[in-house]
Each structure stands twice: as structure tokens, then as C-alpha cells.
Chain A
């Protein structure tokens, strides 16, 4: 181990040396363990084949050389040999197919679940809905942007940390319903042995049963645009008792955070809240400096919508853009207060100094009196 570390630190040059892994992350579900064992078996078989076959080849390379005076024996056909080396690999494959088939069938067995969680992929975050408990939230990357640009230190779980992990109980069969809102994403947590594409307009399912409490981390595995590398998944598995405590607290929190939509906010408070909403939802495209990305995502700093036409600003945030599908309809995802806050923020941040305050009731009105 230390030898490996030294070698790696030499190759890695200056900087920290991290423990390198040569195989799968430790499996914590029956399916992940099955995959782990299956892979170990396959590795054993393929390495053995490689050693035997190339042992023969390297023997020939060493002994049957012209420089050693070896004369070529010009045989070039042998039906028996051909049949043998067709049949033997075939039989090896049949032997592999047996455990492989069992693993596939186990992965696909989504019946008799204890609870169901719906997962929706968005560019670039995940939404989790606990269908049986009425709890739902969005999970964002928690690593600050400065860390990406090395302006601040990178923590242990750099890029694999979220603001709201998916909390699940251990020892329960959790069924996942997966879908997506925009493009194809893929929900992957290596330790759980689950990777399932989330396809917009379609529903797929998968399942896992974690038997060890712990925090398990994964990432989106299907290229889904600009911030594909920045939508991690964190699963926090807790004992059923701890899970029940968490769930009760989460339900209470949901009830408490339902803001009074008629409250009248001061500009500074609303702007402060709006900045948080902006960081979570808007910064990926419109950037922290509000300049957007020329050619792809428009600037908010100094834009006509964000400085002049207030109703248009509210409409595009609530209902999305008809011209640019990348601009989502946030009305479905954010509360009136959050939308009011983020619009207020956008109208008063960077070089925008409109002094406009958009109140939650304005948003309620824009929604048509219903929310």
C-alpha cells in the first residue's frame, strides 16, 4: 500500500495524494454485492484466458524466432483445432451466462416494495418525492462555485455533496420511479448497484435495499448538458427509527416553511432570500455575475426584461420561455415567495438598480389567483 502511494505521489507530482481505488465501491445492497461477485468471477475468467492464450503466444515469440535459427513449419489448416477453439470459448460463455442471467432477473425484480420514491431529473438537479408520505424536495450540488475554480479549498466530498440528501431507511425495499423533465439523465449510486436512466415523458423503475446505515454517493451518469458533472446524488441510509425521526421533522419543516403568501417583505430581506434561490436554481446558466453565457444563455445584468418590463419578467420566470426551452417554468418548482424573492434579487443585483420589490402576492396574482 505504501509503495503504491509513493509511486502514485511520484506520478502525481506535487499536491495531495488520495487513496486510489482499483475496484468497485463497497457494495451495501444484495444486488450490488451480486454485481461485485459477478465482476470478480468475470475478472478471474478473463485474466486466466489472457494468461493462457498469451502465454502460448509469448512462448512462440521467444522460441520460434528467426534469430534463434528456428525454421518455419508451414502448416496452415487443422479442422479439429478450429472446432476445439470454437467450442471451448462457447462453453466458457455458457458458464458465464448462468450467473449473469440470475443477476439480471434479481435487478429487475421491483415487486413487494416497502416504500416508493419518485425521482425526477432536471438540468441540473434531482427532485425526490416520497409518494407515500407527501414529502418532496430538490437536491442541489452543495460545493460552492469558488471551490470549482480553486478560489477556495476543496472539501473531502468535493462535487459529491448536496444540500438535501435522499434519506432512506435501512432494511426496507425502496422502489424508485424515475422520470425526467428535460433531457435524459441517469441516476447512479455505485454502492447501491443502481443505475437507471430517467427519460423525459416516460417512467422507469428500479429498486434497492440498503442493509448498512451510511452515506452513499453517486452522480448523474448520462450526459445531460453543461452541468452534467455537477448534479451529484447523496443517499443517506438510516435505521428505521432514525428515518422515522427524520421523516417527522421533514414533514413539520414542510408545514412551517409554507410562507404566508400575503406577507409584505422589505427589499433587503427579499433580496437576501432571492440571492439564495438564484444560487440554487439560476446560477448554472445565468452565472453568478448575471452575464450569462453569450450565445447560449442570455445575460440578466442590464437586460430589458430584468430592468424594465416587470410583468414579462414575472411571466418568463413563472411560465418559462417559449423560445428557449432551457428556460424552465419555475412556477411549478418554486413557491410564490421564492419566485418573488428571486425576481426582486435579479432586478436589484449587479448593475440592475431598479429598486423594484416584487411581493409574493404579485406572483399569486400572476398565477391567476391560484397557487
Chain B
């Protein structure tokens, strides 16, 4: 591996900029990636505080801390902040940091646009958070913002709609950057069917975002015009239909679920092979499974609407299509287990989180299969069973994969090792309390507790208490992670060039920490499946 320090590679010739300007005018993919990650962690904490407010109120029957309207605002904003503020930016941040390193590109394709797409996020987040303090409070129609309830809300709804517009523009620009980078900037030898799974997952996710975020922007704009400009898109009195909102929203909403899941699949497909010291089993089928999940995700949206009263034929179609998604998802789980089989496994923190992900995500997937059956869904729709289901796929799915990713790539990003005992403690603590929080919610839903209620009948008390205790412990545990990160960045042991014995992708071929300008000269690589590098020549950094 040649490390060139020759100057003259405009526009990357300058060293590291310093001070505030480095961040405000950042065009370096690593700086922007770091900002994305810190931003999303901040949003994760704010959304988490809202979740704890919800769980505090639900600790026992009766209204203790929040009036119903504020409670509804908290559930709404918790959902919006976590989906659009925490999970999506976190994956974009990781993609920013890692894609150029994985495919041998000097930076993202459009460095300045990259800067804009990040800096749109803080104002949007501010709009969401200050909406709590405007007259009438924040949006309180649930994160789905169903019309016509959404047309009744106060000014907080308008702020939310603007925030969604901004977040949408940001994620579309981020996605365009990801697609162009992957399609046009791969190093010679890094062909599409050799690309690592995270690159594949990011590419497919980016296409999904471009396809559906504009649809969300469109539908919330319609709510806005219904609110202020006398249109009747979702008002039956003017010839509209409230159910149409749900159709358009879920046309966005279901692919959105996979926008939050596919990158997680990609991350886990790196970590399991590394710590099994074996190549990923069935790389090609993984690529096809990911693509078919993406395609199928456009055909199942109405399974969120089984109780709206659609004809039996429509219910059956969406039921069958939804069940079908279990097939490619199952293939992915089997491939991961196939990778672990006959491996030489070790269980450092990233692997623990990855295995935890596979287990808990599968529980979420199996409860999803149960929900796909329309007749059963009628009983479970809008209950805590659904809340349990999507927290299994989003917290134990997306969030656990993000923790796995941060622990896994932390040495390459910072040049330091995190504390392994603290990391393992964080995993076991999260794993236990996550299940204490969310597993009882299945029982609550089955027993008949609707979601989005600030107070409940007495027979739901026990499980709510357990869930609330679990939530507070889970939330507290995330401070361990923050402490571990902050301490390790300053005082961590210097990380070796390749801290993981089985890590074979391109980002592990460069020095640690990753040079500020990496691959200013494209390397020539000879790669195998899943981006495993057999040999590399050239490739200069400084």
C-alpha cells in the first residue's frame, strides 16, 4: 500500500481546516459524517426523553404528569424525532463516513451539497422542538399525521409540516450524493457485484428515499392546503376522502420502514463475517433479497389500513403481498446464520450487538408475519402489540445495528479503542432492559390496550409498570454508551491499523485513524464478494 503525501491534488490539497469554520463550511465526508452522527445522537436523546415522559405517565393508571393533549404531542414528536431526526440521519452519517472508504473514493460526489444536506437538519429539528412552545402546542395527531385530525391542530402542525419538508429535502440530497458516489466513484476493480453489503444497502435505501420522501412531502403539503387554503383533499364535505391520506401516507410509510431497516442489514452483513472469520454466506442472494424487499415494500402499504374497511379482495391481496416479504427477509437471516455456522467466532461488542440484532429483529419479523394476517390484524391494529412489533424492528433493529456499527468502526474513525468492558456492559444492559420494556407490550396489545392513550384500564397496570421500569433503565444505559465514546475519544488506547482480525473490506486497508483526505488517488483493487480485498495497489492519502 502506497501512501503518497505529494501535494497538488486540488481541491483536496489543503490540510485540515480549523475552528468553527471547519464544521460550518465542512465539505469533508468524514467531518460531515461525524456531524450527522452527533446530531442524530442528540435527537436520539431528545426523543428518548419524550419516550421517558410517556412511560412516566403510563407507570400507573390516572393522569399524573401530563394532560392528554400534551401526552399526544409527546407521542407524536417522539415518533417524528426518532424516525426523521435520529435513525435516518444516523444511517446517512455512517454512509458519509464509510462509503468513500469502502469503495475507494476520495470523498462524496458533491461535497458542497453534502454540507447543505447536513445543515438543513438542525433548523428542521429546531422547528419540531420549538413547536411545543407555540400556542396550541406541538402536533398531536400521531407521527402519521392522519387527516382530518391533522387539519384540526394548531400552529404546531404547520411547523411540523415545514420541518418534514426540510428533512425531506435534506434526505433526498443526501441520497443523491450516496447514489452518485456509489455508481460513479468506485475504485477500479470494485465492481457492483463485489461491493460490500453496506454499500449495496445504502444504494438501495437511497433509491427508496428518492422515491418516497417526495410523496410524503406531497401529502403533508395537501394537509397544509386543506388547513389554510380551502382545499378538500381529505375532507368528505368537499368531495375528498380521509382514507386517501392514509393510502398516500403509507405509500411513503411502508418503504420508509425499509429505509430504516436495510442499512441495518448492510451493517450486520459486515460485522458477522468479521467476527466469524468467514466470508459472508450467500452474498449474491443477499443482494437479490435486499433488492426484492425494496421492490415488495411498494406493494404492501395497505396492510396498515386493514381496519379502514376495504373490500375482501383488497385485504387478501395486501395480506398475501405482506406475507411474501417474509421470504427474502428470512433468506437474510438464514444467510447470517450460515455465515456463523462453522466459523471461528469471537464476541466483541459489535458482534454482540449484531447477534442481538438478528435475534430481536427476527422476533419483530415474526410478530410482523402475525400482523400480516388481516383477520388477526383487525384485533391488533392500533394496539400495544403493534407498538411492541415496531420497536423490536426499530430499536432492536435499527438502533442496535447503529450501536454495532459505531463500536465496529470507532477505531478507524477515531484512532482509539473504545472500552470493551463498558461496551459489553452496554450491550447486556440494553438487551435486558429492551426486552423488559417491549416484550410485555405484546401482552398489553393482545389483552386489548389501544396505543396512544394517556391513561388505561386497571387490568393493564402490571405490564405497564414493568415496561416503564424497563424504559427508564434502558434510557439510563445509553449514558454508558455516551460516556464510553467521550472517554475513549480522549483517553482510549491507540487503535491498531486493523483491530479486527477478520475485517477484510477496503476501509481496513488504510491507516488508523483514517487520514483526513483518504484515497485522493484511487486505488486499484482486486476484490471478492462483499468487498473483501484480495490485493490493493496505489491509493494515496494525506
Q: Which residues of A contact B (CB under 8 A)?
A: 8, 11-13, 15-25, 32, 34-35, 38-39, 42-43, 46, 49-50, 53-54, 56-57, 60-61, 64-67, 70-78, 81-82, 85-86, 89-90, 93, 96-97, 100-101, 103-108, 147-150, 154, 156-160, 178, 182-184, 186, 188, 190, 193-197, 199-202, 204-206, 217-230, 293-296, 325-326
Question: CB within 8 A of A227: which of B61, B64, B68?
Answer: B68
Contacts of A220 in B (CB 8 A): 450
A77-B282 CB under 8 A given contacts A65-B346, A188-B450, A296-B136:
yes
Pairs A–B under 8 Å by Cβ, sample size 20: A11-B469, A18-B462, A21-B443, A64-B345, A72-B344, A86-B327, A89-B326, A89-B330, A101-B316, A104-B319, A108-B315, A150-B64, A182-B148, A195-B378, A200-B148, A219-B453, A221-B382, A225-B72, A227-B68, A295-B135
Contacts of B403 in A (CB 8 A): none
Interchain nearest-CB distance for A304 vs B (Å): 20
Interchain nearest-CB distance for A292 vs B (Å): 12
A57-B376 CB under 8 A given contacts A82-B331, A97-B319, A225-B149:
no
Give Cα A247 to B279, complex, Å.
Answer: 73
Binary interface encoding of chain B residues 430-462 relative to chain A, with 1 for a CB under 8 A from any of its CBs, else 0: 000000000000010011101011111111011
B242 at the interface (CB under 8 A from A): yes
Question: CB within 8 A of B341: which of A54, A56, A184, A228?
Answer: A56
A157-B457 CB under 8 A given contacts A82-B331, A150-B62:
yes
Interchain nearest-CB distance for A310 vs B (Å): 28
Contacts of B382 in A (CB 8 A): 186, 188, 195, 221-223
Which of A15, A18, A73, A218 gathers the greatest number of chain B CB atoms within 10 Å? A18
Question: CB within 8 A of A53: which of B333, B344, B453?
Answer: B333
A35-B331 CB under 8 A given contacts A20-B443, A72-B276, A150-B62:
no
B49 at the interface (CB under 8 A from A): no
- Do A85 and B152 touch (CB < 8 A)? no
Give Cα A22 to B374, complex, Å.
Answer: 21
Contacts of A86 in B (CB 8 A): 327, 330-331
- Do A22 and B443 touch (CB < 8 A)? yes
Question: CB within 8 A of A64: which of B243, B315, B344, B461?
Answer: B344
- Do B282 and A218 touch (CB < 8 A)? no
Contacts of A183 in B (CB 8 A): 146, 148-149, 152, 242
- Do A74 and B327 touch (CB < 8 A)? no
Minimum CB distance partner of A57 in chain B = B337
List which B55-97 residues lie within 8 A (CB) of chain A: 60-64, 67-69, 72
- Do B448 and A54 touch (CB < 8 A)? no
List which B9-25 residues lie within 8 A (CB) of chain A: none
- Do B345 and A66 touch (CB < 8 A)? yes
Give Cα A54 to B357, complex, Å.
Answer: 12
Minimum CB distance partner of B286 in chain A = A82
The 9 A-B residue pairs with the shortest CB-CB distance in the complex, in nearest-first order:
A201-B236, A229-B453, A103-B375, A204-B309, A295-B135, A21-B447, A46-B366, A72-B344, A76-B279
A100-B375 CB under 8 A given contacts A186-B382, A226-B72, A229-B454:
yes
A67-B62 CB under 8 A given contacts A18-B458, A50-B366, A54-B359:
no
12 other A-B residue contacts (CB within 8 Å) besides A24-B379, A219-B450, A222-B307: A18-B461, A24-B446, A57-B355, A66-B346, A70-B343, A76-B283, A100-B375, A156-B458, A196-B307, A197-B309, A200-B236, A202-B236
Contacts of B308 in A (CB 8 A): 197, 199, 204
Give Cα A72 to B459, complex, Å.
Answer: 52
Interface bracket on B: 35 or more
B362 at the interface (CB under 8 A from A): yes
Binary interface encoding of chain B residues 274-285 relative to chain A, with 1 for a CB under 8 A from any of its CBs, else 0: 001111111111
Contacts of A217 in B (CB 8 A): 457
Interchain nearest-CB distance for B412 vs A (Å): 22
- Do B334 and A85 touch (CB < 8 A)? yes
Minimum CB distance partner of B359 in chain A = A54
Contacts of A42 in B (CB 8 A): 369-370, 373, 376
Give Cα A145 to B279, complex, Å.
Answer: 63
Give Cα A236 to B538, complex, Å.
Answer: 80
B241 at the interface (CB under 8 A from A): yes
- Do B330 and A325 touch (CB < 8 A)? no
- Do A228 and B307 touch (CB < 8 A)? no
B218 at the interface (CB under 8 A from A): no
- Do B458 and A39 touch (CB < 8 A)? no
A195-B452 CB under 8 A given contacts A60-B345, A71-B344, A89-B330:
no
- Do B340 and A25 touch (CB < 8 A)? no
Give Cα A29 to B434, complex, Å.
Answer: 36
- Do B458 and A154 touch (CB < 8 A)? yes
Give Cα A200 to B374, complex, Å.
Answer: 23
Which of B316, B330, B462 gathers the greatest number of chain A CB atoms within 10 Å? B462
Give Cα A201 to B243, complex, Å.
Answer: 11
Minimum CB distance partner of A102 in chain B = B375
Binary interface encoding of chain B residues 363-374 relative to chain A, with 1 for a CB under 8 A from any of its CBs, else 0: 100110110011
Contacts of A38 in B (CB 8 A): 373, 375-376
Give Cα A43 to B327, complex, Å.
Answer: 18
Contacts of A148 in B (CB 8 A): 62-63, 455
A12-B334 CB under 8 A given contacts A20-B443, A89-B327, A295-B135:
no
- Do B319 and A60 touch (CB < 8 A)? no
B338 at the interface (CB under 8 A from A): yes
- Do B146 and A223 touch (CB < 8 A)? yes
Interchain nearest-CB distance for A105 vs B (Å): 6
B222 at the interface (CB under 8 A from A): no
Give Cα A156 to B378, complex, Å.
Answer: 27
Contacts of A90 in B (CB 8 A): 327
- Do A199 and B242 touch (CB < 8 A)? yes
- Do B316 and A184 touch (CB < 8 A)? no
Minimum CB distance partner of A219 in chain B = B450
